[in-house]
Amino acid sequence: MTDIISEYRIFLQLERSLSKNTVDGYLDDLNKLQKYMNGTGKSPVDASLEDLQAMIAALYEIGITPRSQARIVSGIKSFYRFLVTEKHIKADPSELLESPKTGLQLPVFLSVHEINTIISSIDLSQPEGQRNRAILETLYSCGLRVSELTGIRFHDLFLDEGFIRVEGKGRKQRLVPVSPAAVKEINLYVTTDRKRVNAKRGHEDIVFLNRRGAALTRVMIFYIIKQHTALAGIHKTVSPHTFRHSFATHLLEGGANLRAIQQMLGHAKIATTEIYTHLDRDFLRSEILEHHPRNFAL
């Protein structure tokens, strides 16, 4: 199995061009499968459909959520498709393995007022104040994934033209329009905070750096957002992805075309973007319930 796992890692990295975090997730799913199969005295290569169904049932018994189960099933299916492609096995035992029903989970999003309150909570007199303001404006203005934000380099900035180039999932690049507000904050950061940092070797072209001159990590972006959300007095669970959800929701509420939002977010399938139509319906319903005169007559 050690050689097969090594092959699989290379396949995910090179053939599928997946990010490190995604590769780690797939390998973690494989590790769960291997541990379960070791308990049966069999190798994952020798697993049957019944073995895989029993594993998913065991995950349910220990309280793993349906959404997490579905992700693990997806990882298992990916591994067995690889085994068939590379001729390690003849038949795919996961072909008929069903994912649990997860239901529709609408993402948390912030109102425009909440976004403004969080950004306004940043103290620009602090050493990283302008950097943090530029980060939050960029996340909201462009609807970026956190990994896309941390990877932005100076040669990706086309601020005079109003665009930023980002590298999304599968290393696919796209040009994203950036708002004048974000352009202003990025330019202020580049000419103030950024100039005072001595970039480490290999990080000279990275736009957003920590105080030690290295690229910011995903964890640090989470911390920055958590810190300023608390300062703003907002009690929702807010993450970098919340800014992305808010960006898409506000565009849809403002009348933007769903296909345009799909391109902005870098979604490969329109079905992924369509979740925001559900958010929009909820928004419309709440507005009607709040403002329609007949509701007050009941």
In the chain, where the domains are located: 2-85, 112-288
Pick the CATH number of 2-85 from 1.10.150.130, 3.30.70.20, 3.40.1010.10, 3.40.50.300: 1.10.150.130
DSSP codes of every residue in 18-50? --HHHHHHHHHHHHHHHHHHHHHT--GGG--HH
φ, ψ of residue 176 in degrees (nearest 5): -115, 130
Q: What is the pLDDT of residues 62-78, one digit of tens each?
A: 878 888 888 899 999 99
- DSSP code, position 190: H
Nearest-CA neighbor of 238 among 250, 254, 253, 221?
A: 221
For residue 289, name the pLDDT band (cuts at 50, 70, 90).
low
Active-site residue 241, yes or no? Answer: yes
Q: What is the mean pLDDT of residues 80-87?
A: 93
Catalytic residue among 32, 153, 165, 169: 169
Given 71, 133, 228, 241, which residue is catalytic?
Answer: 241
Active site residue 9: no
From 131, 145, 245, 250, the catalytic residue: 145
- Is 267 a known active-site residue? yes
Q: What is the pLDDT of residues 4-34, one digit of tens each?
A: 999 999 999 888 888 888 899 999 999 999 9
- 228, pLDDT greater than 90: yes
Whether 244 is catalytic is yes
Query: Which homologous superfamily is 112-288 in?
Result: Intergrase catalytic core (1.10.443.10)
Which pTM was predicted? Answer: 0.62
Using alpha carbons, select from 88, 89, 180, 81 the residue that is nearest to residue 138.
180
